[in-house]
Copies of this chain bind each other. A is one copy, B any other.
């Protein structure tokens, strides 16, 4: 079977550890490419253009929008954030699975354009654990934590639109679970139509 890359959309509650999960997945298995977002915000100390983000001017970003060069984009706090299309499509053509860590609204937009994309939502074992993780960071005020919990409650309404869920309880276990789900997705019949058609034709031809 010829292996085509799968576009993988990973979302999850804020504070669930998606970033660490995705980073570890890409480190552990070499079949993945991580999509890098473009943004108009200023680089923070230590951030490198083309590693954390592609840093673009507002004009360059808006040009990208015009020429359909972004799969999705959104505006937060007066800055644009988006997913450059070219990198994603090149990796998929090379047979690599491309991971997009993205919030729920962006996920819907991507899935519309790439119906074959695999959607995965990362959860904590329960709501208390989510609060605990947000609190243990020690960087957020109680008001911000409340806001994030309310946002999670809203996001929870959208989980059913995702194909798979994983519980990020133990990191390595969760990484392997995500990897297994993606590997299994390569066996989906709808992703192997060409192979199925070929064997059907061979059999009909009396091979």
Contact = CB atoms under 8 A, between A and B. Distances in A.
A184 B189 contact: no
Given A149-B203, A152-B203, A207-B131, A165 B123 contact: no
Interface in A24-56: none
Contact of A181 (B1, B166, B187, B203): B187
| Chain A binding surface SS class | helix
A165 B189 contact: yes
Interface string A114-151: 00000001011011101100000000000000000100
B177 A163 contact: no
Number of identical monomers bound together in the oligomeric complex: 2
Interface in A49-75: none
Contact of A153 (B124, B126, B204): B204
Contacts of A187: 164-166, 177, 181
A196 B149 contact: no
A206 to B, nearest CB: 7
Interface string A182-203: 0111011110110110111011
A120 to B, nearest CB: 8
Given A153-B200, A160-B193, 5 more contacts: A124-B199, A126-B199, A126-B202, A152-B203, A177-B187
